[in-house]
Amino acid sequence: MTTADELKKVVREKYSEIAMQDKDSNATSCCGATSTGTYNIMSDSYTDLEGYNPDADLGLGCGLPTQFAKIQPGDTVLDLGSGAGNDCFVARAETGETGKVIGVDFTPKMLQLARQNAEKRGYNNVEFRQGDIEELPVNDHSVDVVVSNCVLNLVPDKAKVFEEIKRVLHPGGHFSISDVVLRGELPEALKSAAEMYAGCVSGALQMDEYLAIIQAAGFQNMTVQKQKSILIPDEILLEYLSPDELKAFVNSKTGIFSITVYAEKAGEKRQRNYSEKPKVNLAELPISNCCEPGSGCC
């Protein structure tokens, strides 16, 4: 794992495998990357969110970005690394029939699964595009809200991703992104492990560095909406560390965190009517008695 292309190959292969697993298998591992242990390490529960579809939930997230994303009816929402469509379908419940949701993923098997899930539910305003989130297949200034759940840490050039987010957002648009970050240094054995990279850990940046990239991209009003500690069980860590290395790692007080970050693109938010179109019940419409039946005047 020395080049960006090699890292992307690792992620694509691993997430193709994950697409064929069930949620329980994925949720008991590190972001779906390993098969050891019986712990739900990172993922939060979506079950109370409107639009949640269990078939689309592979247990791969580390937060609930759509819960914090301030999506309004009529918005166009973009999900980076959309997987089987979980966050897209929750976003659709917020943006409604008048809005649009776009999911981007570069794993063909994930896209196939997401499209099947959307078709099964008759969602005609949700689409899934194949692409690299470092080069989004999305037009400039075409999106109101960007969400992403535990994906940017899998990307070699994170600064490029935030530049792309800024490009596709309308002026005044915003994002809410959940990701894994660090405080302190990981042992070298974890940094170099392909499984831990695909598991969202070894590719994670220091928290201050992550937030600095967002600021450097020119976003404003940045807020950490949620933060929680992630504890990787010893059973998983011992796949990569010796007992002495594990003890040293625990004593180092290195922190692994899930954060959900919000920030806005500079500019005036576009003004439009976010309300849903009213649904008309024809049975309740008044019947006009303007003339006698058969008179031809109506």
- 274 lies in some domain: no
- Over the stretch 1-31, which tens digit does the pLDDT of each residue have? 457 777 667 666 676 676 666 555 544 444 4
Average pLDDT for 159-174: 97
- 292 lies in some domain: no
- 218 lies in some domain: yes
- 289 lies in some domain: no
Helices within the chain (DSSP H only) = 4-18, 23-27, 65-68, 86-95, 108-120, 158-168, 188-191, 194-198, 207-216, 234-237, 243-251
CATH number at residue 56: 3.40.50.150
Q: Among 20-29, 117-126, 133-142, name the one with the lowest average pLDDT.
A: 20-29
Average pLDDT for 216-235: 92
* Residue-range definition of the domain harbouring residue 32: 4-267
Asked whether 103 and 85 are in contact (CB, 8 A), the reply is: yes
- 287 lies in some domain: no
- pLDDT in the model for residue 194: 62
- 297 lies in some domain: no
- 90 lies in some domain: yes
- 154 lies in some domain: yes
Would the pTM of this model clear 0.85, i.e. be above it?
A: no
Q: How confident is the model at residue 277 (pLDDT cuts 50, 70, 90)?
A: very low
What is the domain count for the chain? 1
